Structure 1
Amino acid sequence: MSIYKSEEGRRKSLELYDRQLAKLQLPFSDIYADTSFGKTHIIDTGNKEGRPLLVFHGGNSTSSYNLLLCRFLLADFHIFAVDTIGHPGKSDEVCLSPRGYDYGRWAGEVIEKIGYDRIACFGGSFGGGILAKLICTAPQKVEKAVFIVPAGIHNAVPVSSVRMMIPLLQYRITKKEKYLIKTALYMALHREVLDKDTLDILKDSFEHVKTKVGMPTNIDRRKLSGYHAPTLVIASKKDCLFPAKKVLPRAKQLFPNCKVYELKDSGHMHVLPEKVKGWIVDFLK
């Protein structure tokens, strides 16, 4: 069953994928890895002389959009940006359950297929949940880990998702951008977060993709006995999905070698301050 609402929607979604990837203005190559869960597409880009870094994108989004958010990593790291299987992009349209640990097993296979025994990993939102599941299923494969507003550590009850439904319905009926913005502001809080690329990916998700609302569930502490890698967890104080007050204390309980940071005036969708980007680069180096 397709993850897209129509074949025309699939075409438009992939056109946006290619347009946003072209905005990087960097050379890249496509890797297609055959995993037991399905064929997986990975964008190979960044600094080929730098430390390898596997990057997982957010839910109902794409690696090409995520790379625009992660431009600050491209100069220093050899990036492998993986298209989450069953989400928009160029991997197979095979949906895995967010409740178990299949996403972790899939991610572990991806690491093997790109030729690494261990690799540093970076995951945001849904992608952070995938990284959390990976740490539970194959801790020895994660050299370092950076989580940004992650699922899978301490998810909140998404009350705001219910309030979002009214402006989202208004957007779907009218296609007026003001309702798209109103919907997004429940997660973004600040209008300046919603640049053209962000509005384009939201529009694509709402119009063309069968949106997935289930996030990777909280990981079981008992599955982490073999994990000791350096870990950085960044969460937003006003995140309606994964609030810092829940995520950061549990992260320190889960991960023995863990640094945490709270984004004070940010929601789930945010712009990382330059100093925080610098900390992430230094941590990964």
Structure 2
Amino acid sequence: MGTIYKTPDSRRQTLALYDRQLRSLGCRWRDRYVDTGFGRTHLVETGNFAGPAVLVFHGGNSTTAYNLLLCRFLLPHFHLYAVDIIGHPGKSDQRCLPPYGYAYGRWASQVIDALGFAHMRCFGGSFGGGVLAKLMCVAPEKVEKSVLVVPAGIGNALPVGAVKMLVPLLRYRHGGDERYLRQTALYMAMTEDVLDSDTIETLRNSFDHVKTKVGMPTNVGARRMRRCHAPTLVLAGERDCLFPARKVLRRAPKILPCCRTYQLTGRGHMHLLTEEEQSMIVSFLQGDPPPPPGR
């Protein structure tokens, strides 16, 4: 098995940041490990241990620890099982799965089995949303309810945005100037207010220490996805360069039998959710009536 890290010290640096960010959550958490046919998988179990269980998938080239900082609003309400996607930074095995096909879905299905659940509520963002979409195709009966935020796998755009990011990214890698790191991030974030210290530190670690994965989970097949009747909420960014709302929100209702959509108006791939939007997600996962179609 190859390494996903650039140097022998890169994994240590990544896990040190991972643990610092977990501690900064300021809540109780514990490590869980489960075995799958694809490799050993790590999860962070946290949140409200008396609440409904939710399986959480993080974004690509990132970590569960950083994702939990973004999902703090879920912590008071749900018993979170936040999984380190296999082959990505974190504490799961480093075996990389192909972005095409449905291997990620089979892996996620085995994680649910290993945790001892027949089905789970699920939350996935970006790359993790693509993993969740693959799970919904492979084992629709294991998804009780799902929220996909700026997800891969539904309406992927041509990788023009990724190409535009290459120039400042190469400049950053050549000289380490943080100005170019921020320029790279702004192609996804659109506005500076999204780029807080945790986000910048996570991006820096990813670019400095991780062999970046460019390939995102490919679009799922419509026939497979139509088998999933779980209530689903899909949120997409109007100005997302990777998975734009105009593509994601147009296709999602066509392939998901029980789908509600919501546009993150004016926002890119990296974004901030309003309190109203956070409450909408919590209510949806708790089982309240689904929201009206998004604006």
Please report the TM-score for the alignment, with normalisation by the length of structure 1: 0.99
> Partners in 1 of 2:165 and 2:275 — Cα distance?
30
Structure 1 ranges of 4+ moved more than 3 A:
none
2:183 aligned with 1:170: no
Name the Cα RMSD after superposition.
0.6
* Offset, 1:10: 1.0
- In structure 2, the partner of 1:40 is 41
2:226 touches 2:256 (CA, 8 Å); kept in 1? no
Matched position secondary structure for 2:112: helix
What does 1:117-196 correspond to in 2, within 5 Å?
117-196=118-197
Give deviations 1:109-157, integer Å, cap 9, x for gaps: 0001111001000000000000000000000000000000000001000
> Partners in 2 of 1:225 and 1:258 — Cα distance?
11
- In structure 1, the partner of 2:291 is none
2:50 aligned with 1:29: no
Give deviations 1:196-236, integer Å, cap 9, x for gaps: 00001100110000000000000001113431110000000
2:129 touches 2:149 (CA, 8 Å); kept in 1? yes
* Offset, 1:86: 0.1
2:226 touches 2:257 (CA, 8 Å); kept in 1? no
Give deviations 1:163-182, integer Å, cap 9, x for gaps: 11111111112211111101
Matched position secondary structure for 2:9: helix
> Partners in 2 of 1:269 and 1:231 — Cα distance?
21
- In structure 2, the partner of 1:52 is 53
2:68 aligned with 1:92: no
Give deviations 1:248-275, integer Å, cap 9, x for gaps: 0100001111110001110000011110
What does 1:95-110 correspond to in 2, within 5 Å?
95-110=96-111
> Partners in 2 of 1:224 and 1:32 — Cα distance?
29
- In structure 1, the partner of 2:117 is 116
> Partners in 2 of 1:224 and 1:9 — Cα distance?
38
Amino acid at match of 1:79: L
Where structure 2 has 5 or more consecutive residues not aligned to the other structure, the ranges are 287-295
> Partners in 2 of 1:272 and 1:192 — Cα distance?
12
Amino acid at match of 1:147: L
2:41 touches 2:93 (CA, 8 Å); kept in 1? yes
* Offset, 1:160: 1.6
What does 1:229-244 correspond to in 2, within 5 Å?
229-244=230-245
Give deviations 1:24-59, integer Å, cap 9, x for gaps: 011111111010000000001000110100000000
* Offset, 1:11: 0.7
> Partners in 2 of 1:176 and 1:225 — Cα distance?
47
